[in-house]
Amino acid sequence: MLLVEACGQANTAPASPPPATAYSNVSVDEFRQRMGEEDVVLLDVRTPGEVSQGKIPGAVEMDFRDPDFRQRIESLDKDRTYLVYCAVGGRSSQTCEMMSEAGFARLYNLEGGYTAWKGR
């Protein structure tokens, strides 16, 4: 009987908040603004076929689907700021997660990707 009563008590401890993302999703306007800052790397993680359709000037191309993609990402300078984009934002957000796990601190993901960029 004592065991049943203990199990019936409500847990009054506050729930822990969900973990914060270690990168920021930013609008096209904020992305453009950050492009003018010092020590920024613009990273395009689309495929060569997608890049052939157009890209943001000055972007470094690194195909998310390359087998050595993670290794190439981890070899980048962790002290720089990275503005990351893909076609619509999925691969770039995964890239930001990967970079965050590898110790990168200043990461910005373009919401809506290159599609949003072209629409502005």
Q: What is the pLDDT of residues 41-78, one digit of tens each?
A: 999 999 999 999 999 999 999 999 999 999 999 999 99
pTM: 0.82
> What are 57's two structure tokens?
């000037």
User: Is 7 inside a domain boundary?
Assistant: no
Q: What is the pLDDT of residues 67-110, one digit of tens each?
A: 999 999 999 999 999 999 999 999 999 999 999 999 999 999 99
User: Is 1 inside a domain boundary?
Assistant: no
Q: Band of the pLDDT at 18, cuts 50, 70, 90? A: very low
In sequence order, what E strands does the chain have? Answer: 24-26, 40-44, 60-61, 81-85, 106-110
User: Is 6 inside a domain boundary?
Assistant: no
Annotated catalytic residues are 86
- Round to whole Å and give the CA distance between 3 and 59: 63
The domain total for the chain is 1
Query: Which domain, by its residues, includes 76?
Result: 22-118
- Round to whole Å and give the CA distance between 120 and 116: 7
CATH number, domain of 62, equals 3.40.250.10
User: Is 2 inside a domain boundary?
Assistant: no
Closest CA to 107 of 93, 96, 94, 95: 96
User: Is 4 inside a domain boundary?
Assistant: no
User: Is 10 inside a domain boundary?
Assistant: no
The pLDDT value recorded for residue 120 is 81
Torsion of Cα atoms, 96 then 78 then 20 then 24, to 10° = -60
Residues 6+ apart with CB under 8 A from 42: 35, 56, 58, 59, 60, 83, 85
User: Is 16 inside a domain boundary?
Assistant: no
